[in-house]
């Protein structure tokens, strides 16, 4: 089966024909015939015959299919009509990409958002860990300073071993 650039659930804009400029959601695709049905686009009247006694024959207005080449996919991220590019993501899956670089497939858009959220949470966690580390390091730093001072005193008062011992004990 051929893979169309347009998939069910996409928002597309019609670029040619009587419905040019109309936007709608893709209701169904027929890859073997290169045709799609878009919500509110190419409304055709069909005569529907009554099948049961209670039913009345009527004219039903319904979307007719249009050629897939008559539409462009509207990117859910940047909102612009785009030519569809294809790429393969880290998981080896085919992803349709907008010229802006965002994924056109909604599931991948969602994934991207999730990944972004996860990434920012990781950054937060790292920052929190860094902060904790810094707080933990603070008394050590002070102790080191104290020791440095003590050593200075020690060198100065090297002639007085008792005093030096005392200050060392204080560390």
Footprint of Zn ion on this chain (CB under 5 A)? 75, 77-78, 98, 100, 102
Min separation Cβ 7 and Zn ion, Å: 16
Min separation Cβ 44 and Zn ion, Å: 31
Residue bearing tokens 């991948």: 108
Min separation Cβ 73 and Zn ion, Å: 9
Instruction: Kindly tell me which of 46 and 80 has the beta carbon lying closer to Zn ion.
Output: 80
Min separation Cβ 76 and Zn ion, Å: 8
Instruction: Kindly tell me which of 36 and 98 has the beta carbon lying closer to Zn ion.
Output: 98
Of 25, 58, 60, nearest in space to 41 by CA: 25
Instruction: Kindly tell me which of 99 and 146 has the beta carbon lying closer to Zn ion.
Output: 99
Instruction: Kindly tell me which of 77 and 167 has the beta carbon lying closer to Zn ion.
Output: 77
CB atoms within 10 A of CB 153: 17
């Amino acid at each position: 089966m051929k893979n169309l650039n347009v998939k069910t659930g996409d928002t597309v804009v019609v670029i040619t024909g009587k419905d040019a400029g109309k936007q709608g959601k893709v209701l169904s695709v027929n890859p073997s015939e290169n045709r799609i049905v878009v919500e509110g686009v190419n409304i055709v009247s069909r005569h529907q015959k009554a099948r049961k006694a209670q039913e009345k024959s009527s004219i039903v207005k319904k979307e007719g299919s249009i050629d897939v080449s008559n539409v462009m996919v509207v990117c859910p991220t940047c909102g612009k009509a785009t030519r569809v590019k294809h790429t393969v993501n880290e998981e080896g899956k085919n992803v349709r990409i907008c010229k802006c670089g965002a994924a056109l497939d909604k599931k991948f858009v969602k994934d991207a958002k999730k990944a972004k959220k996860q990434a920012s949470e990781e950054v937060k966690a790292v920052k929190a860990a860094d902060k904790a580390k810094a707080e933990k390091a603070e008394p050590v730093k002070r102790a080191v300073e104290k020791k440095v001072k003590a050593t200075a005193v020690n060198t100065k008062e090297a002639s007085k071993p008792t005093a030096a011992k005392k200050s060392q004990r204080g560390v």
